[in-house]
Chains A and B, each alone.
Chain A
Amino acid sequence: MSGRRSGSGVSSISDDQITHLVSKLQQLIPELCARRSHKASASKVLQETCDYIRNLHKEVEDLSDRLSQLLASIDTDNDQAAIVRSLLM
């Protein structure tokens, strides 16, 4: 492929690759699936992807926070086996 160097992955990425990357990512991001796919530019898709990942990170952070508080207040040792069984059902 022209313009592709094996040393650093950042310089001169070909347009084809970017288009391919962008079209695939579009299918994964909920924001972009809802709208018509042809209208999203490469930079918009990449921006949405980054934002989406950051949002997911934030959600997991908030969930960790809640969970750590919940676990601190509950004594789970006795019920652990029962809880695991319920989660698996």
Chain B
Amino acid sequence: MPNLEPSPVFKRRKTEGDPVSVHRIQSNQTMKRWTTKREHQIYSSKLFQALCRSRRTSSSTSAKELHQTADRVLAITAKGTTRWSRAILAAPLTAGTNMKKHKRAKVTVHTRLRKPVVNREKRKLPVVERKLKALRRLVPGCRKLSCNNLLEETSDYIVALEMQVRAMTAITEFLSRGEAQAPTDRLGSIGNM
């Protein structure tokens, strides 16, 4: 039976009801949040507006900033219910690379080189554990998360990323189609998107 004990995630949430039932409802809502057409439309329009805004403030938008904006709008859509979304919003803008440098400075080179050998003999981290660690690094804000919570965060994150890809593809196709046609044609042909 899955262990649905309350974790720090639930203490911060403002919804009522006992943590276990909220948790179950959350899983159903997760799917709806990222898979309905409506949510997709809302995200793509919000993203587009955010991109136009950032273009107005800075002279050029690099791909990296755009990616960051897309991630932040995606995280906002989660409405603070998941750890990965909060981690994205809490991270300072374009300081990601600086933080990574700091982390690398702490770990000395020879330790890193020795790691693969030491693992097998003394650390005896099995393959599964190592892969779990890799997964934790991929999902934002989940480096110290337990197995069950990691599952929730990962499944939510994956579905959210899929929506992000769909939305950005739609915007890209829309804009590139708009280039080829006259502005008046654009409105007529997009109704079936």
Q: Give the interface size bracket for B toward A.
A: 35 or more
Interface of B is mostly: helix
Q: Is B24 an interface residue (CB 8 A)?
A: no
- CB pair A61–B51 under 8 Å, yes or no, is no
Q: Which of A33-75 contact B (CB under 8 A)?
A: 42-43, 46-47, 49-50, 52-54, 56-57, 59-61, 63-68, 70-74
**A50 touching B135 in the complex, CB below 8 Å, given contacts A64-B66, A71-B61, A89-B193:** yes
Cα separation A8 to B71 with both chains bound (whole Å): 28
- Chain B residues contacting A89 (CB-CB under 8 Å) are 41, 190-191, 193
Cα separation A71 to B51 with both chains bound (whole Å): 9
- CB pair A60–B161 under 8 Å, yes or no, is yes
Interface of A is mostly: helix
**A87 touching B171 in the complex, CB below 8 Å, given contacts A18-B128, A56-B165:** yes
Please tell me the number of chain A residues within 8 Å of chain B, measured between CB atoms: 51
Tell me the smallest distance from the CB of B189 to a CB of chain A, in Å: 9
- CB pair B158–A52 under 8 Å, yes or no, is yes
**A49 touching B135 in the complex, CB below 8 Å, given contacts A17-B148, A43-B128, A70-B175:** yes
- Chain B residues contacting A74 (CB-CB under 8 Å) are 175, 178-179
- Chain A residues contacting B193 (CB-CB under 8 Å) are 86-87, 89
Tell me the smallest distance from the CB of B70 to a CB of chain A, in Å: 6
Tell me the smallest distance from the CB of B38 to a CB of chain A, in Å: 9
**A66 touching B172 in the complex, CB below 8 Å, given contacts A1-B3, A9-B144, A56-B158:** yes
Given A10-B129, A46-B132, output 13 extra A-B contacts at Cβ < 8 Å: A20-B148, A25-B151, A28-B158, A46-B134, A56-B158, A59-B165, A63-B165, A64-B64, A68-B66, A70-B172, A74-B178, A82-B183, A83-B178
30 pairs from A and B in contact (CB 8 Å cutoff) = A8-B144, A9-B150, A10-B133, A13-B129, A13-B147, A17-B148, A18-B132, A21-B147, A25-B154, A42-B128, A49-B154, A50-B135, A53-B138, A56-B161, A57-B161, A59-B165, A63-B165, A64-B70, A67-B66, A67-B171, A67-B175, A70-B172, A77-B52, A79-B178, A80-B52, A83-B178, A84-B48, A85-B187, A86-B186, A86-B187
